[in-house]
Amino acid sequence: DARVTQTPRHKVTEMGQEVTMRCQPILGHNTVFWYRQTMMQGLELLAYFRNRAPLDDSGMPKDRFSAEMPDATLATLKIQPSEPRDSAVYFCASGGSGKTLLLSQEKLFFGSGTQLSVL
Amino acid sequence: TQLLEQSPQFLSIQEGENLTVYCNSSSVFSSLQWYRQEPGEGPVLLVTVVTGGEVKKLKRLTFQFGDARKDSSLHITAAQPGDTGLYLCAGVSPRTQGGSEKLVFGKGTKLTVNP
């Protein structure tokens, strides 16, 4: 079965360190999302890309977070420097077969997430 | 920012009971999706409703989109322990001038079905 692959599954780091999370979207999908999930806030949209171009990153703290898609098979989310309040589960999701530009017509598939703990 | 309020936040019932969870907003959405999430995994899409008043059924699950496309409900008949999980609704906000569509999530209803 095709699936979204996220690495690492778990990451424990110290405050101030750089963290890089990776996502391999499903082959052929042209939309990639990054979400962060916490108990208090639920799932928050950080950024999303269509055809590798950033469409919206308004939910992402720009001073420390960056998201890129170096190629169609890899999306990265970096935090530098990391802080304890960044501790959360980070999800990547992909969707879109390229037949539509409407989000409401896309079916999204989520990865299993990266559980980040910043001490 | 468009918000989706889900209720109840927690629900614990016995196997065989029926239940309804709600997803409400003051904003209009292009479509609304329901997901189920299990511990340690990402959300899995159950259904998408697009038209106001639309009703979709998935085995024992019935999904309804409000006429004004601001709210939705999920009804489960004869709940089973396998239905246990976090149920999330997510709305697609219409594209704004100069902006893009967004998929925003509610905080979810954590359902426990006891044998």
Residue B106 is nearest to which of A42, A105, A110, comparing CB atoms? A42
Whether residue B3 lies inside any domain: the answer is no
Q: Are B103 and B97 in contact (CB under 8 A)?
A: no
- Give the pLDDT of residue B1: 56
Indicate if the pLDDT at residue A96 is higher than 80: no
How long a stretch of residues is chain B? Answer: 115
For residue range B20-44, list pLDDT tens digits in order: 999 999 989 988 999 999 999 999 9
Q: How far is the C-alpha of B112 from the C-alpha of B13, rounded, in Å?
A: 6
Which band of pLDDT confidence, cut at 50, 70 and 90, is reported for residue B103? confident
Of the given ranges (A25-39, A62-76, B92-106), which has the lowest mean pLDDT?
A: B92-106
Residues of B in contact with A103 (CB under 8 A): 30, 92, 101-103
Cα→Cα distances B10→A23, A26, B13, B16, B39, Å: 31, 33, 10, 18, 15
Whether residue B36 lies inside any domain: the answer is yes
Q: What is the number of domains present in chain B? A: 1
Nearest CA in chain B to A33: B103
Average pLDDT, chain A: 91
Which band of pLDDT confidence, cut at 50, 70 and 90, is reported for residue A98? low
Q: Using the beta-carbon criterion (under 8 Å), do A42 and B105 form an inter-chain contact?
A: yes
Q: Which residue has the tokens 């559980």?
A: A115
Q: Which residue has the tokens 């990054």?
A: A34
Report the percent of chain A where pLDDT is more than 70: 92
Indicate if the pLDDT at residue A23 is higher than 80: yes
Whether residue B105 lies inside any domain: the answer is no
At B101, the amino acid letter reads E
Which band of pLDDT confidence, cut at 50, 70 and 90, is reported for residue A55? confident
Q: Are A109 and A94 in contact (CB under 8 A)?
A: yes
- Which of A112, A105, A63 has its CA nearest to residue A89? A112
- Give the pLDDT of residue A102: 64
Whether residue B75 lies inside any domain: the answer is yes
Query: Which residues, in sequence order, are CB contacts of B10 under 8 Å at separation 6+?
Result: B109, B110, B112
Whether residue B60 lies inside any domain: the answer is yes
Q: Using the beta-carbon criterion (under 8 Å), do B43 and A112 form an inter-chain contact?
A: no
Q: Using the beta-carbon criterion (under 8 Å), do B103 and A113 form an inter-chain contact?
A: no
Determine the distance in angstroms separating the CA of A89 from the nearest CA of chain B, rounded to an integer.
Answer: 9
Residue A25 has which token pair?
């979207």
Nearest CA in chain B to A111: B42
Q: Does B49 contact chain A (CB < 8 Å)?
A: no
Whether residue B112 lies inside any domain: the answer is no
Q: How far is the C-alpha of A56 from the C-alpha of A109, rounded, in Å?
A: 19
Q: Using the beta-carbon criterion (under 8 Å), do B107 and A4 form an inter-chain contact?
A: no
- Residue B16 backbone zone (phi > 0: left; psi -120 to 50: alpha; other: beta): left
Q: How far is the C-alpha of A32 from the C-alpha of A53, rounded, in Å?
A: 10
Whether residue B104 lies inside any domain: the answer is no
Domains of chain A plus CATH, in order, are: 5-118 (2.60.40.10)
Indicate if the pLDDT at residue A88 is higher than 60: yes
Centroid of chain to Cα A4: 11
Determine the distance in angstroms separating the CA of B22 from the nearest CA of chain A, rounded to an integer.
Answer: 16
The CATH number that applies at residue B26 is: 2.60.40.10
Whether residue B110 lies inside any domain: the answer is no
Q: Using the beta-carbon criterion (under 8 Å), do B45 and A35 form an inter-chain contact?
A: no
Q: How far is the C-alpha of A24 from the C-alpha of A32, rounded, in Å?
A: 9
Domain range enclosing B36: 11-97
Q: Are B74 and B60 in contact (CB under 8 A)?
A: no
Indicate if the pLDDT at residue B94 is higher than 80: no
